[in-house]
Structure formats: structure tokens, C-alpha cells
Structure 1
Amino acid sequence: LTDAELDQYAGQLNSILTHVAQVAEVAADDVPPTAHPADLQNVLRPDVVSPSLTPEQALSGAPAVEQDRFAVPQILGEEQ
């Protein structure tokens, strides 16, 4: 490394170490680690079976059906 590069990297390293020291001062043992600054939790509803369409009803308006599924044109793997 040249002297100019050493001076540049020394300044950058000093800045990094200063910031790490500031974070270390704030971090406390009584503060739990978090993945997000806001206390977020997933809001999930209970998984309950409810009335829905039968496969026949759901597929009744489909233009094409194959093996009790909507049939759609293949788009992957086709030659252009």
C-alpha cells in the first residue's frame, strides 16, 4: 500500500472503530436483541375449515380442465 492509501484506510478504520464503540456503549445486557426496531408479530387467524366451492364448482367455468386442475398453455421450455 502507498502512504496515501495507508492514511486513507487508517482514517476509515478509525471511523469504523468509533462507531462500534458508540454502539457498544448503547447496547446493554437488559435490552433483548431484536430483528426489527418495532415490536412486530405475525397476526394469524385460526386455521378453521369453512364452506367453500367443490372442485367441480370451481372448475365449472374454466375454458380447459386437466386432472381436476385449470389447464393453461405451457410457457416455460418452449422454443421461440
Structure 2
Amino acid sequence: MYGMNMSEMEKLQIQALLKAEELCARKVQRYMSQSGDPAVQGVLQQAMDRGNRHISALNGLMQEAGFTGASGH
């Protein structure tokens, strides 16, 4: 199956979203390491999981469009 067509603007927007999601993931990881409260860690883990799903979805879009190495993740 051949990749979908993606404009340069769409590519740039997805790359910006990837950078934002990766920044959030790094921050959540840092907060998790600083928190001693299991309830807070649970909420942060949910946020981390959701962010990782977003990163995977965005990387999938980039791969479908034929771009590899879309993320430094």
C-alpha cells in the first residue's frame, strides 16, 4: 500500500505536534520521579500512556506519508 499524500504544511504541523507530545512525556516522566504519592503517580502514568499513544499515532501518520525518522523519540 502506498502512502497518503501529505502537504509540507501538514508535515510541519505533525512534526510540531510530535515535539510538543515528546516534551509533555519528558515532563510527566520527571514529575513521576519526583512524586511519592501513588495516586498522583497513577494519574501521571495515565497521562504518559495517553501521550505515548498520541506519539505513536502521529508517527504512524508520518510513516504512511512516506516519511521515516519522523521523531527523535
Q: After TM superposition, is the score higher than 0.5? A: no
Higher helix content, 1 or 2: 2
Bigger Cα Rg: 1
Give the number of the structure with larger relative contact order, counting CA–CA contacts within 8 Å between residues 6 or more apart: 2
Higher strand content, 1 or 2: 1
- Normalised to the residue count of structure 1, the TM-score between the two structures is 0.37
- Normalised to the residue count of structure 2, the TM-score between the two structures is 0.40
